[in-house]
Amino acid sequence: MKIILSLVLLVIAMSLVNTSFAQQDSVYCVRSDNFTRFTYNTIINRGTDTIEVVGYTKIPPGESGQFLITNSDKEVILKYKDFINKVFVLENNPIRLFLDQQTIVCSIEDVIKNSKRFVLKVEDDLPGQIELNFTGLIKVEQNPDLLYEISLSLTNEKLSELKNSRDFPFTYAFKISARDTISGDIEIKRGEFIIVK
């Protein structure tokens, strides 16, 4: 009987420890269940004691803090009073650029009417920290969901020269570069307009 009673008390005691940890765990707020590498992770301390993000920063009670993970750590340790919590670190995947085609063949009339266009799609886990650069004689229009329409942009003088030329075809190449401003990851795509008579 004493053994059974002792086991019951032990189970109750373990339950109280787990409950206490869960309650302590709720005094800080993270934006997700995980942290992410190569971006700023935010913690809001709603407790009455300092939260230590081990190896990164300390956040006083009632304040928020950010920290940047650039090493190869698989998890981050959080300390609050005597309690410890480990949070998994997700990878920030590389930028992905998708150009619907590599080459567009068009006429001068197509260029004037702006009827032939490339469509670029940008995919990234953290698009807010992506810097896009476009190089070439092109016009770029941004649509929702990180879609971009790219058309050839020539001056009236240049179009007039083309109309009177016999040296067809003409090729106008362009380049798109995307860079993650924190990780330094770079992705490049190229395309070209070929003007035929």
pLDDT, block means (10 residues), the chain with 197 residues? 33 27 46 83 90 94 93 92 91 96 95 94 94 97 92 94 91 98 96 95
How many angstroms separate the Cα of 133 from the Cα of each of 136, 177, 190, 192? 10, 5, 12, 16
| One domain for residues 187 and 109 | yes
Same domain, 181 and 115: yes
pLDDT for 131: 97
Whether 14 is in a domain gets the answer no
Q: Is residue 131 domain-resident?
A: yes
Q: Is 11 exposed, middle or buried (0-12, 13-18, 19+ CB in 10 A)?
A: exposed
Residue found under tokens 């109309």:
163
Domain boundary among 59, 90, 121: 90
Task: Out of 57, 90, 123, pick the residue that ends a domain.
Answer: 90
Q: Look up the domain containing 60 and give its range.
A: 24-90
Q: Are residues 116 and 143 both part of a single domain?
A: yes
Count of structural domains, the chain: 2
Whether 13 maps to a domain, the answer reads: no
| 103 and 175 belong to one structural domain | yes
Provide the pLDDT for residue 89: 95
DSSP-based three-state secondary structure for 43: strand
For residue 50, give both structure tokens. 């300092």
The pLDDT of residue 14: 28
78 plus 106 within the same structural domain: no
Terminal-to-terminal C-alpha distance of the chain? 100
